Amino acid sequence: MERKDTPFTNDHFAAFCEKMVGQPYWYGCCLYKATGSVLSRKTNQYPSSYAASRTARYKQDIANQKVVADCIGAAKGYAWTGGGTGVLEAVGTDKTYSSKYGSNGCPDKGANSMFTYAKSKGMDWGAIGTLPEIVGLALFKSGHVGFYIGNGYAVEWKGFAYGCVKTKVAGRGWTQWYKLPFIQYGDGIVTDSDTTPVTTDGSSQSTSSFGTRTLRYTKGHTMLRGEDVLAVQARLVELGFEPGKADGVYGPLTVAAVTASQAANSLETDGVVGPITRAVLVSAV
């Protein structure tokens, strides 16, 4: 069985999130079936988020038998339903599913406190500029969370007016990424039809010019080399940033050019080419 078909793997979680695109955002909900009783309970619990002006939309969600969540509630609901068991099948139908509060290693935490909890459990995390190409990671900024689905895109329960949407990671203001404690993360990287994995010695096997690996320079360590580095250098030259000799070696001059391009695009200036910086380099004019 493939990982994307196995609940609680990061591949399955990311695929589940993407399949939920289009479902509504209800504050304080954790993948609940939209019902009148849920609406009444949440209105009493969070009156400012359930103003009368929104009632008609909420009632339409109930009539359409939607499944509702807020940003971190989507992750909690995934865990509490045993990895989303029965959730997708219940959308738009009379089917129901079970949800056990606090189950499967997922506590009831908010967007900020879940990040704190993950760090306390020793989960990997880092600045958004170092985002690895691993699906199912949580993306964080104060008060909000999204979930990385690969190739520079995320799924997030963005708010009442948007619902669950697919968005580009770049430009959304994310500050950190982290691994969720109740998700089993594999070692593989995201690939598509134009790319192949990177070898363990760091050499590029990508047939796509920009590749997928994270490019960084650490003083005293062997510098990364490959066609992906050469592609980045060529693109920097096109955009007016001088990386030195275009030799396919990710050294200090290339780092300086990447940093300058990041500053010009209001990104974190860390000199690292991860999914966000790569996406901006590709799309910049």
Q: Name the more confident of 238 and 17.
A: 17
What is the model's pLDDT at position 279?
86
Q: Tens of pLDDT along 17-65?
A: 999 999 999 999 999 999 999 999 999 999 999 999 999 999 999 999 9
Q: Name the more confident of 240 and 155.
A: 155
Could you tell me the pLDDT band of residue 226, with boundaries at 50, 70 and 90? confident
What is the model's pLDDT at position 18?
97
Q: Tens of pLDDT along 106-148?
A: 999 999 999 999 999 999 999 998 899 899 999 999 999 999 9
pLDDT at 195 over 50: no
pLDDT at 209 over 80: no
Mean pLDDT, residues 56-76: 98
Q: What percent of the chain has pLDDT over 90?
A: 72
pLDDT at 262 over 50: yes
What is the model's pLDDT at position 188?
43
Q: What is the mean pLDDT of the chain?
A: 89
pLDDT at 196 over 50: no
pLDDT at 80 over 50: yes
Q: What percent of the chain has pLDDT over 70?
A: 91
> Domains in the chain, ordered, with CATH?
3-178 (3.90.1720), 197-285 (1.10.101.10)
Instruction: Name the pTM for this structure.
Output: 0.69
pLDDT at 228 over 90: no
Mean pLDDT, residues 67-76: 98
3-state secondary structure the chain: CCHHHCCCEHHHHHHHHHHCCCCCECCCCEEEECCHHHHHHHHHHCHHHCCHHHHHHHHHHHHCCCEEECHHHHHHHHHHCCCCCCHHHHCCCCCCCCCCCCCCCCCCCCHHHHHHHHHHCCCCEEEHHHCCCCCCCEEEECCEEEEEEECCEEEEECCCCCCEEEEECCCCCCCEEECCCCCECCCCCCCCCCCCCCCCCCCCCCCCCCCCCCECCCCCCCCCECHHHHHHHHHHHHCCCCCCCCCCECCHHHHHHHHHHHHHCCCCCCCCECHHHHHHHHHCC
What is the model's pLDDT at position 161?
96
pLDDT at 86 over 50: yes
